[in-house]
C-alpha cells in the first residue's frame, strides 16, 4: 500500500526524473538563451519538479 493513500500511483513523476528532463532541456539549448515558448516550457518543468519535491518530502516525514 502507498504511504500516501490519496496519491495515485504514477500520478506524479519523481523529482529526479523531472530533473533529468530539465537537464536535457538545457542541453538541447546548447548554451543559447531560450525563446519565450522554451522559457514557458522550462517554467512548467520547474513547477512540476517543485511539486514532486514537496511530495517526496511529505512522504518522508
Looking at residue 3, what is its pLDDT?
44
CA pair distance 33, 60, nearest whole angstrom: 37
Tell me the three cell numbers of residue 39: 522559457
Looking at residue 58, what is its pLDDT?
66
With contact defined as beta carbons under 8 Å apart, do 41 and 7 qualify? no
Looking at residue 12, what is its pLDDT?
59
* pTM exceeds 0.85, yes or no: no
Query: pLDDT tens digits, the chain, 61 residues: what are they?
Result: 344 434 444 545 799 999 999 999 999 999 999 999 999 999 999 999 999 999 887 665 5
Looking at residue 61, what is its pLDDT?
56
Amino acid at each position: 500500500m502507498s504511504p500516501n493513500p490519496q496519491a495515485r500511483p504514477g500520478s506524479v513523476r519523481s523529482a529526479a526524473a523531472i530533473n533529468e528532463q530539465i537537464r536535457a532541456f538545457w542541453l538541447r539549448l546548447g548554451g543559447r538563451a531560450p525563446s519565450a515558448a522554451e522559457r514557458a516550457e522550462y517554467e512548467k518543468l520547474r513547477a512540476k519538479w517543485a511539486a514532486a519535491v514537496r511530495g517526496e518530502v511529505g512522504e518522508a516525514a
